[in-house]
Chain A
Amino acid sequence: MSLYGWTLLALSVGFTTGSLVWCLARVLKNHSRQDRLHAPADLDPRETDR
């Protein structure tokens, strides 16, 4: 395979894999942050008393 082929392969596979990993990491980071927000420990007892 020529250098053009290797370059194209590396760029295409790198771009698609990299963008998925980057996006998924941001989604999961936000996902776990949302989970923490709704964790029982985060509830203010004064709110539940109201």
Chain B
Amino acid sequence: MSSGKKDGWGSSLGVILAVTGSAVGLGNFLRFPGLAAKYDGGAFLIPYFLALLFLGLPIAWSEWAMGRYGGQRGFNSCPGIFRSIWKSPLAPYCGVLGLIVPVVIYMYYLWIESWCLGYAWKYLTGALNLGPEKQAYAAHFTSYVGLSADGAFFHQGMALPVVSLLLCVALNFFIIYRGLSGGIEKVCLWGMPLLVMCALLVLARVLTLGTPDPAHPERNVVGGLAQMWDIRGGLPGLIQSLANAEMWMAAAGQIFFSLSVGFGVVINYASYLKKKDDIALGSTTAVAGNEFCEVSLGGLITIPAAFIFLGAAGAVGGTFGLGFQTLPLVFDRMPAGQLFGFLWFFLLFIAAITSSLSMLQPAIAFFEEGLGLDRRGSVSLLGFITLMGTGIVVWFTKDLAALDAMDFWVGSFCIFVLATIQTFLYGWVLGPIRGREELERGGLLPIPRIFDFVIRYISPVFLLTVFVLWLHQSWAAKWQAMQTSPSVRIALFFVVAVTVLFLLLILRAVRTWEARERKTR
């Protein structure tokens, strides 16, 4: 139970924008369009929306309900909230995932955030006009990130990459130090509308490009939209695409990661709500906000823009390839590309910072309520831990080994485990009666009755099926990387050390909570 002055949200709109800001990130604008283009365009959208209805939305509702349930019992961190729901002595230790997942993801996400800031600055100053060849942008990215060798990132000295990283560290901790309503909420209240405005400007530019290259009349706006949205091969093509299990897995994974469910963030944010605040409409609005950014903005910008200038072969790629190599080439060929390049990377930066801020708050809440630290102490301790982690990520840059390892084991594997635990806690421990009571108190939106059945049976089965398939597909390569790469082993050793540290801190926090409860009895 927390002692001292309690932090909280200033308004219902503020918490909705903060949760939306946490969910909207690079994945909305780069990963989602990349996946849709890879899996036969429009066909991908069918499993995607089914996963939204049966996995994303139910888990989001349950996280909000559990968060406020714990918050009403004086807990804001995952270990405390889990303990208030589940009376088992194991409960708070399961909550360790709700601390290490956001903290470890922050360690590498911060670095990616600094790339967006650096690229936005380069566009603003005109330093990213590298000509019409893709290789120039690939070489620039390699040198900017230091992909060639471990430690190469620091060989640049106090150049833009290092300065923008330091600036991002300072910005994040300055904002988080100002608290929920004075820091995170204010940034999201301004940042999210600004992000949407930048995206709408870029979207308007893309949709009015026409046919910029007369030598390639097929590379036009409608062709670009078709690349992203069309169902290739008509109805038989659609049926064939839907038979691809890998596509179902990718769609469910995208929904899952995009909504930030299983991150430990939503549950923490919701714990600051008051007893009679609405959570049903708030959670649904946050999900709708994320989906709007992903489908209506990301889905209409990235792939169509890449197709119009580079054709079908250019409109594919992973998050980093598409975002930091392909799109800069697109902006080079686009009229007023420097301005739109700046807007694009600036919107990615806003999307990233509203997400990274949310990753710090769960651990801060735990330090405050579990260890009795004040805001300054919590921020300093977390700053020290995350700086060490970010240091490891930016030192072992060769092939992004440390980043990749942390992303797989924490940013994917642990998220699946945490989401499974949360689904179990809501559906089977808190139960549908108490859960619905929590969801409906102050609710401005009726939650369908079928949700009780979905969250108890369908969501866990859906989740575990995707988890097992995903693990089956990715396990071997990651396991091999761990055995052969020393940098991967160092990164994972650090993750294990942070986990052990948090487990010890939870042990101490539990003793404090028990002593306080004995005193109040």
Taking Cβ atoms with an 8 Å cutoff, the residues of A that contact B are 1-2, 4-6, 8-9, 12-13, 15-17, 19-20, 22-24, 26-28, 30-31, 34
Question: Among the listed B49, B289, B300, which residue makes an inter-chain contact with A13, where contact means beta carbons less than 8 Å apart?
Answer: B300
The answer to whether B505 has its CB under 8 Å from any CB of chain A is: no
Minimum CB–CB distance from A4 to chain B (whole Å) comes to 4
Beyond known contacts A4-B234, A6-B229, A22-B288: 12 more, CB 8 A cutoff: A1-B226, A5-B230, A5-B231, A13-B296, A13-B300, A16-B296, A17-B296, A19-B284, A20-B291, A23-B288, A26-B444, A27-B282
The answer for the CA separation of A28 and B11 in the assembled complex, in Å, is 11
Chain B CB within 10 A, most for which of A8, A19, A23, A30: A23
The answer for the CA separation of A5 and B229 in the assembled complex, in Å, is 5
Give chain A residues whose Cβ lies under 8 Å from the Cβ of B11: 31
Question: Among the listed A4, A6, A20, A34, which residue makes an inter-chain contact with B285, where contact means beta carbons less than 8 Å apart?
Answer: A20
Render B272-305 as a binary contact track against A, CB cut-off 8 A, 1 for contact.
Answer: 0000001001101100110110111001100000
> How would you classify the secondary structure of chain B's contact residues: helix, strand, loop or mixed?
helix
Q: Is the CB of A27 within 8 A of B231?
A: no
Q: Is the CB of A5 within 8 A of B292?
A: no
The answer for the CA separation of A8 and B225 in the assembled complex, in Å, is 11
Closest 7 CB pairs of A and B: A5-B230, A1-B226, A23-B285, A4-B231, A20-B288, A20-B292, A8-B42
Minimum CB–CB distance from A14 to chain B (whole Å) comes to 9
The answer to whether B328 has its CB under 8 Å from any CB of chain A is: no
Chain A CB within 10 A, most for which of B222, B225, B230: B230
Minimum CB–CB distance from B141 to chain A (whole Å) comes to 31
The answer for the CA separation of A23 and B282 in the assembled complex, in Å, is 8
The answer to whether B16 has its CB under 8 Å from any CB of chain A is: yes
The answer to whether B240 has its CB under 8 Å from any CB of chain A is: no
The answer to whether B432 has its CB under 8 Å from any CB of chain A is: no
Give chain A residues whose Cβ lies under 8 Å from the Cβ of B234: 2, 4
The answer to whether B13 has its CB under 8 Å from any CB of chain A is: yes
Question: Given contacts A2-B231, A9-B225, A23-B284, is CB(A30)–CB(B42) below 8 Å?
Answer: no
Q: Is the CB of A13 within 8 A of B13?
A: no
Q: Is the CB of B289 within 8 A of A4?
A: no
> Can you list 30 A-B pairs with a CB-CB distance of less than 8 A?
A1-B226, A2-B226, A2-B230, A4-B230, A4-B231, A5-B229, A6-B229, A8-B229, A8-B230, A9-B42, A9-B225, A12-B45, A12-B49, A16-B296, A17-B292, A17-B296, A19-B292, A20-B285, A20-B291, A22-B288, A23-B285, A24-B288, A24-B289, A27-B12, A27-B282, A28-B13, A30-B278, A30-B281, A31-B12, A34-B12
Render B425-459 as a binary contact track against A, CB cut-off 8 A, 1 for contact.
Answer: 00000000000000000001100000000000000
> How would you classify the secondary structure of chain A's contact residues: helix, strand, loop or mixed?
helix
Question: Given contacts A5-B41, A23-B284, is CB(A13)–CB(B291) below 8 Å?
Answer: no
Q: Is the CB of B295 within 8 A of A12?
A: yes
Minimum CB–CB distance from A10 to chain B (whole Å) comes to 9
Q: Is the CB of B281 within 8 A of A8?
A: no
The answer for the CA separation of A6 and B238 in the assembled complex, in Å, is 14
Minimum CB–CB distance from B407 to chain A (whole Å) comes to 27
Q: Is the CB of A19 within 8 A of B291?
A: yes
Q: Is the CB of B285 within 8 A of A27?
A: yes
Q: Is the CB of A23 within 8 A of B281?
A: yes
Give chain B residues whose Cβ lies under 8 Å from the Cβ of A28: 13
The answer for the CA separation of A5 and B235 in the assembled complex, in Å, is 11
Question: Given contacts A5-B42, A17-B292, is CB(A12)–CB(B299) below 8 Å?
Answer: yes
Question: Among the listed B231, B285, B444, which residue makes an inter-chain contact with A24, where contact means beta carbons less than 8 Å apart?
Answer: B285
- In B394-436, the 8 Å CB interface with A consists of none
Render B39-57 as a binary contact track against A, CB cut-off 8 A, 1 for contact.
Answer: 0011001000100000000
The answer for the CA separation of A23 and B281 in the assembled complex, in Å, is 7
Q: Is the CB of A27 within 8 A of B230?
A: no
Taking CB as reference atom, which chain B residue is nearest A23?
B285
The answer for the CA separation of A28 and B229 in the assembled complex, in Å, is 32
The answer for the CA separation of A5 and B225 in the assembled complex, in Å, is 9
Taking CB as reference atom, which chain B residue is nearest A35?
B11
Minimum CB–CB distance from A39 to chain B (whole Å) comes to 15
Give chain B residues whose Cβ lies under 8 Å from the Cβ of A19: 284, 288, 291-292
